[in-house]
Amino acid sequence: MGDFLVTCLQAATPIWLAALAGMYAQRAGVVHLGLEGLLVSGAFAATATAVGTGSIVLALAAAVAVNLVLSALFWVLTTYFKANVMIVGLGLSLTAAGATGYALVVVFGSEAAIRSPIGLPRPFDGLSGPLAPLGDLSIVTFAAVVLSWFAWWSIRRTRAGLRLSACGSDPFAAKSAGVPVERYRLAALLIGGFLCALAGAELSLAQVQSFSDGISQGRGYLAFAAVLLGGVAPVGVSVASLFFGLAAALGIQSQVDFNDALPPQFVLMAPYVVTIVAISVTALANRRRGRQQTVIMERTL
Amino acid sequence: MIPRRSPIRPATRDGATLTCAGVSVDFGGFRALSDVTATFPAGQVHAVVGQNGAGKTTLSRVMAGLVTPAAGTVQVGDRLLPGGNVSEARRNGVELVHQHFALPPDFTVAECFELFNGEQGTVGAFSRAGLTRRAADLLAGAGAEVAPDAVIGRLPVETLQAVEIARALASCPKVLILDEPTAVLPPPAMRGLFDRLRRLAADGMCVIVVLHKMREVFGVADTACALRAGRLVLEPTPIGELDPATLSRAVVGDVTVEAAGTTPEPATSAPVELEVRELGARSGAHDASAADVSLRIRQGEIVGVAGVEGNGQRSLVEAIVGVTGVRSGSIAIGGTDVSAAPVRERRARGLRVIPFERNVEGVSLSSALWENHAAMDGGRGAFLITPQALKRRCQEALRRWKVSYRSVDQQTGNLSGGNVQKTILAREITDGLRVLVAAHPTRGLDIAAASDVRGALVRAAEAGAAVLVVSADLEEMFEVCHRVLVMLGGRVVATFERPFDAEPVGAAMVGGGGG
């Protein structure tokens, strides 16, 4: 049981952090389809730096630095060049996938994967007794727990969080209150870049300790689904991410337990099916209540 | 951080004089305001009047720092405001109450107050309890009856205005600007608002209010100024030196506005075109269910439905149109029961509609004029369309209705409100019209456009249509209607015949009228 919960948490961590990133962005009024790209770029930067320097601190720092630059670029493109938010986000995701695959070949001469000599620290490694499975969890998973609480607190209990939410809910009202909307959006995207850097490092340096092409397997999009499924609320988004982790762990477990009876693909399919059902139900319920789905609304002056 | 209860300052509303000097605003190539210079002294209520597009909203937004002027300055007391800086304007005591409210729909009332709480910086946390307490204090101080944890998106429009005013007064402003506050209010609430503004001015505040109607101006203001096409055509002038005719002339220029009048009431023997019997229907969470509503409209008759918004008017209209199901009772057009008929069949029987929200339900703002005009043919005729023919037809119709437009290919959203409404009239009032349902037909339109629209309703009745008008504007209904029903809580609570008297109708709207 303990092992299973640990597997859940391990599977959930990257999605969880990326989903929190997506939540900050969407609260600020930016639909963030670049989460996948930031996961991949974070994973690559972390692994490449770990290989090059052998330092886990530098690896994390590099992932954060790269993602902050990419997030700032996202903001510049959508704010100053008025590029479509969805397209820039998708472009970021696709470019990151292509660029890291290319860099694997050019820099490391490898098309398959690069292995890192070191991994993320595991703070409870070496415990014995019933808590022993905790030893498998990386420091980023524990960070995710703390950061999700921070996300809740910052959104629900601070003035800055309130203003951030206003930027997404009604930018005109935010402007009327004197909130510098664009700056809040930049801040939200930068926080998101940081969170995705951690998520990416978890992806490549926690268990497998290697970076391979296509490492994220669409987890960034799953994170985006978690944002919507969780109603763009801190708690909801965390619950949705943990649910996705649970489903992934079930998929792994079913491969072990009844390999022949039930094809694991069906279990792996479950979170996606549930996402589609849940989002459809929410949308229908909203329509029943006469509310419109808000993706992004901008009242003009 | 310990949540600090923000101090509610005592009501020492030291007003300040607001001065605009040479203010000009450009939107792209369009000059929205040009060289506006005006002084609004403290301790008075100042009315700013003008037609749609005259620049009233732009002027109020410049004063509040929401729009950066291309030239000119705004001064509060002896402080010169930096242009286009809301925070600075608010710090200097200028608050703007928006026409459509600046309240995020998924926020609670308490959260909105905190969003606009300028007394504390960005950094800092709060507790729910502290937020609620502050909101409760402010709401009580402003006399608004609403729960601090009510969600904005579910509140009726009157309450929203009360909340918006309360949040504007929370910072004890020196200058309070209200952008068309009366557009959404029924008459009794309007009087309450005006009393309120008078009291604030008496306390020394500088109150600037954008208004549409002459009667309102003379009911509340100390001075009035008029904007026309972005220019100040009448400087703030004491109301005693003005009369309605002078002010009207300043607003519309030399265009003559004639009252639409109405048609003589049809004979009681005229055939009934629209008959609603004991109707029960519900449109959604924002409106009361229509319950047991019965009405009959004869050929050539214009019947009005008055009521505070949200009392079942939308349920009634949507049930007649066919977008909301009939739960009980029946609807007949021209003697044929259509209770279960789809919209298309009802339209084929001669039902036409001017919907509540013209920009959302009436037209697609992002579509070309001709596309909107052709939309009525949906489902009729051939599978393929011929754009050239449809464009030609649209051109003819728009010319007949005197719509000002550049090309039928232009986006409908580029037209002014009045012209958008006329494109809807051009589409709906056609041959075969038997029942016309007009919901808020003149809301937000300027005097000239509103008069055109009212004229169109009257002419439709003259031509033999049965017309149902739903409006919040009693004057308008009294002008054109033969009968006025009042809806309250989804039921028809009173019926009035010509000649109308505003007092009992207004009383019935709020449930006070003689039981």
Domain boundary among B136, B154, B171: B171
Structural domains of chain A, count: 1
Model confidence at A293, pLDDT cuts 50, 70, 90, reads very low
B329: left (phi over 0), alpha (psi -120 to 50) or beta: left
Q: What whole-number percentage of chain B has pLDDT above 70?
A: 92
Tell me whether residue A301 is in a domain.
no
Shortest distance between the Cα of B120 and any Cα of chain A, in A, equals 9
Tokens found for residue A166: 């206003």
Position A44 pLDDT exceeds 60: yes
- What CATH number corresponds to the domain at position B391? 3.40.50.300
pLDDT digits (tens, 9 = 90+) for A95-127: 999 999 999 999 888 778 899 989 899 988 888
Residues B137 and B186 in one domain: no
pLDDT digits (tens, 9 = 90+) for B408-458: 888 888 787 778 888 999 999 888 899 999 998 987 777 778 888 899 999
Tell me whether residue A212 is in a domain.
yes
Q: What are the distances in angstroms from CA A24 to CA A118, A167, A176, B45, B412?
A: 31, 11, 21, 43, 35
Q: Could you give the residue ranges of the DSSP H alpha helices within B157-208? A: 157-169, 187-202
Contact A247, A267 (CB under 8 A): yes
A106-115, B32-41, B503-512: least confident range: B503-512
Residues B166 and B312 in one domain: no
Structural domains of chain B, count: 3
Residues B77 and B198 in one domain: yes
Position B350 pLDDT exceeds 70: yes
Q: Give the pLDDT confidence score for residue B474 in this predicted structure.
A: 81
| Phi and psi torsions of A19, nearest 5° | -65, -40
Tell me whether residue B353 is in a domain.
yes
Q: Give the pLDDT confidence score for residue A91 in this predicted structure.
A: 96
Give the nearest chain B residue to A288 (CA atoms): B284
Model confidence at A259, pLDDT cuts 50, 70, 90, reads low
Tell me whether residue A239 is in a domain.
yes
Q: Do B114 and A159 touch (CB under 8 A)?
A: yes
Residues B333 and B413 in one domain: yes
Model confidence at B289, pLDDT cuts 50, 70, 90, reads confident
Cis peptide before B387 (omega within 30 of 0): no
Domain boundary among B108, B141, B171: B171
Q: Could you give the residue ranges of the DSSP H alpha helices within B299-362? A: 313-321, 343-348
Nearest to B467 by CA among B431, B500, B434: B434
Position B11 pLDDT exceeds 50: no
Q: Do B104 and A158 touch (CB under 8 A)?
A: no
Tell me whether residue A203 is in a domain.
yes
Residues B221 and B370 in one domain: no
Sheet arrangement for strand B175-179: B94-97, B175-179, B206-211, B45-50, B223-228, B231-238
Contact B443, B288 (CB under 8 A): no
Tell me whether residue A300 is in a domain.
no
Residues B250 and B371 in one domain: no
Tell me whether residue B470 is in a domain.
yes
A183-187, B134-138, B206-210: least confident range: B134-138
Tell me whether residue B8 is in a domain.
no
Q: What's the domain range around B237?
A: 14-93+173-256
Q: Rg of chain A over CA atoms, in angstroms?
A: 19
Model confidence at A300, pLDDT cuts 50, 70, 90, reads very low
In DSSP terms, which residues pair with B333 in a beta bridge?
B274, B336
| Phi and psi torsions of A210, nearest 5° | -155, 160
Model confidence at A296, pLDDT cuts 50, 70, 90, reads very low
Residues B108 and B181 in one domain: no
Predicted ipTM of the assembly: 0.84
Chain B neighbors of A290, CB-CB under 8 A: 283-286
Chain B neighbors of A169, CB-CB under 8 A: 104-107
Tell me whether residue B277 is in a domain.
yes
Residues B378 and B495 in one domain: yes
SS3 state of residue B178: strand
- What CATH number corresponds to the domain at position A200? 1.10.3470
Contact A289, B285 (CB under 8 A): yes
Tokens found for residue B188: 């009794």
Residue corresponding to tokens 């003149």:
B442
Residues B385 and B427 in one domain: yes
Mean pLDDT of chain B: 85
Model confidence at B255, pLDDT cuts 50, 70, 90, reads low
- Spatial separation of the C-alpha atoms in residues B176 and B194, rounded to whole Å: 13
Tell me whether residue B52 is in a domain.
yes
Q: Do B125 and A290 touch (CB under 8 A)?
A: no
B127 in contact with A, Cβ within 8 Å: yes
Residues B297 and B411 in one domain: yes
Tell me whether residue A293 is in a domain.
no
Domain boundary among B122, B145, B171: B171
- Spatial separation of the C-alpha atoms in residues B229 and B251, rounded to whole Å: 9
Q: Closest CB to A290: pick one of B102, B111, B286.
A: B286
Mean pLDDT of chain A: 88
Residues B305 and B157 in one domain: no
Tell me whether residue A217 is in a domain.
yes
Tell me whether residue B398 is in a domain.
yes
pLDDT digits (tens, 9 = 90+) for B302-319: 999 988 777 889 999 999
Contact B449, B423 (CB under 8 A): no
Residues B245 and B370 in one domain: no
Q: What's the domain range around A66?
A: 2-288
Position A295 pLDDT exceeds 60: no
SS3 state of residue B512: coil
Q: What whole-number percentage of chain A has pLDDT above 70?
A: 92
Shortest distance between the Cα of A256 and any Cα of chain B, in A, equals 45
Q: Do B286 and A170 touch (CB under 8 A)?
A: no
